[in-house]
Structure 1
Amino acid sequence: MTDLEYLDRAEALLATVEADCDRINEAGDADIDNQRVGGMVTLVFADNSQIVINLQKPLQEVWLAARSGGYHYRWRDGQWRDTKSDEEFFARLSQSASEHARTALVFSAD
C-alpha cells in the first residue's frame, strides 16, 4: 500500500470513529467526549478513563490504547486487523468502549 492509500484509509477510520461517537451520544445514555488532534482521537468516558487511537504513519499502522491494553492494526483484506491476534479494529473498539462506559456500545466500519 502506498503512503497516500494508507493515509486515506486511516483518516477514514478516524472519521468513522468520530461519527460513531456522535451517533452513540445521540442515541443513548453513554457520554463519550471525542477529541481529535491531528492523527489522534481521544475518547473520554464519564469516569474520565480514555481510549486513544492514533496513526503510526512510518509503520502504516493504527494504534489503539485502552484499559485492556495496547493494540496495533494494519490494513489487510479490506479491514484493519490486529498484528498479533488478527482481531478486527471495530470489534476491539466496541469491546473496549463498552468496558469503559459500562454499557454495551457498538462501533462499526459501516
Structure 2
Amino acid sequence: MTDLEYQNLAETLLARIEARCDQLNESTDADIDNQRVGGMVTLAFADGSQVIVNLQKPLQEVWLAARSGGYHYRHDGQVWRDTKTNEEFYERLTASVSEHARMPLVFSA
C-alpha cells in the first residue's frame, strides 16, 4: 500500500471513531470525551480511564491502547486486522469502549 493510501484509510478510521462517539453521546448516557490531536484520538471516560487510537505512519499501522492492553493493526486490503490475533479493529474498539464506559456500545466500519 502506498503512503497516501494508508493515510486516507487511517484518517477515515479516526474520523469514524470521532463521529461515532458524537452519536453515542447524543443517543446514550456514555459521556465519551473524544479529542483529536494530529494522528491520535483520545477517548476519555467518566472514571478517568482512556482508550487511545493513534497512527503509526512509518509502519503503516494503527495502534489502540486500552485497559485491556495495546494492539497493533494493519490494513489487509479490506479491514484493519490485529498483527498478532487477526482480530478486526472495530471488534476490539467495541469491547474496549464498552468496558471503559461500563455499558454495551457498538463501533463498526
Q: Which runs of 5+ in 1 are unaligned?
A: none
* Structure 1: distance between partners of 2:37 and 2:28: 26
What letter matches 2:48 in structure 1? N
Q: Aligned residue for 1:63?
A: 63
* Structure 2: distance between partners of 1:77 and 1:39: 21
Deviations 1:30-89 (A, max 9, x none): 000000000000000111100000000000000000000000000004000000000000
Q: Which runs of 5+ in 2 are unaligned?
A: none
* Structure 1: distance between partners of 2:97 and 2:62: 17
Which runs of structure 1 show a deviation greater than 4 angstroms over 4 or more consecutive aligned residues? none
What letter matches 2:73 in structure 1? Y
TM-score, normalization: structure 1? Answer: 0.98
CA RMSD of aligned residues (A): 0.5
Q: Aligned residue for 1:93?
A: 93
* Structure 1: distance between partners of 2:11 and 2:36: 11
Q: Aligned residue for 1:23?
A: 23
Q: Specify the SS of the correspondent of 2:73.
A: strand
- Would you say how many aligned residue pairs link Structure 1 and Structure 2? 109
* Structure 2: distance between partners of 1:94 and 1:39: 20
**Residues 1-110 of structure 1: matches in 2 within 5 Å?**
1-109=1-109
